[in-house]
Amino acid sequence: MNHDSYSDDYIRGILNTVKSIAMVGASEKENRPSYFAFKYLLERGYAMIPINPNRAGEEILGRRIDARLAEIPEPIDMVDIFRGSRHALPIVQEALALKPRPQVIWMQLGIRNDEAAALAEANGLKVVMNRCPKIEYGRLSAEIAWMGVNTRTITAKKATIGGGIQRLSLNRMSVRGGATEAAAAAERAQHEEGTH
């Protein structure tokens, strides 16, 4: 697989099918990127499991922090790596020892380890590197546009999203992904804008 570029169908297929995500390197500090991503994905309905050996036994947003993947008592669908690239290979090795194994290894923005990716793929796991599931979810659901990003509008007003944030449909009927209504509407709007 070419890890320099991923199709929207590939990313959407992953975000549509995973339900539980173990975030390795999750932080309880509200100003850390891992906290933002953890909170965002939790609010979208994913079962988030924080992993941080330095904070084991504490909590992030009501979720108990485990020290290692092996301590998680239930199966997980995806391992989201929020640690430096050099840590990716041991994390993948630990994930491969789980029974059952996760379906996906996801390495956050700035994290790339081709050896870890090759090992995961050789064992049947999907891999994403140097991407953030929070950003990809927002982009593919068109939620980013709702928040004022890439809309050519700057405002200090908080966006209203139907009485609270909720998990958007990314076409949950399809394991392989596919166009969502929000994505189709964004494409139509872009096309109409280009014809004026």
Q: pLDDT by residue for the chain (196 residues), tens digit each? A: 899 999 999 999 999 999 999 999 999 888 899 999 999 999 999 999 999 999 998 999 999 999 999 999 999 999 999 999 999 999 999 999 999 999 999 999 999 999 999 999 999 999 999 999 999 999 898 776 544 444 444 445 555 544 444 444 554 433 334 444 555 555 565 556 555 5
Structural domain total, the chain: 1
Instruction: Taking each helix axis as running N to C, give the angle between helix 133-140 and helix 8-17, from 0 to 180 degrees, rounded to the nearest 10.
Output: 110
What CATH number should be reported for the domain holding residue 175? 3.40.50.720
Number of separate helices (H) and strands (E) present in the chain: 7, 7
Enclosing domain of residue 48? 1-196
CA 177 to each of CA 43, 105, 113, 120: distance values in angstroms, whole numbers, following the listed order = 21, 18, 26, 21
Read off the pTM: 0.74
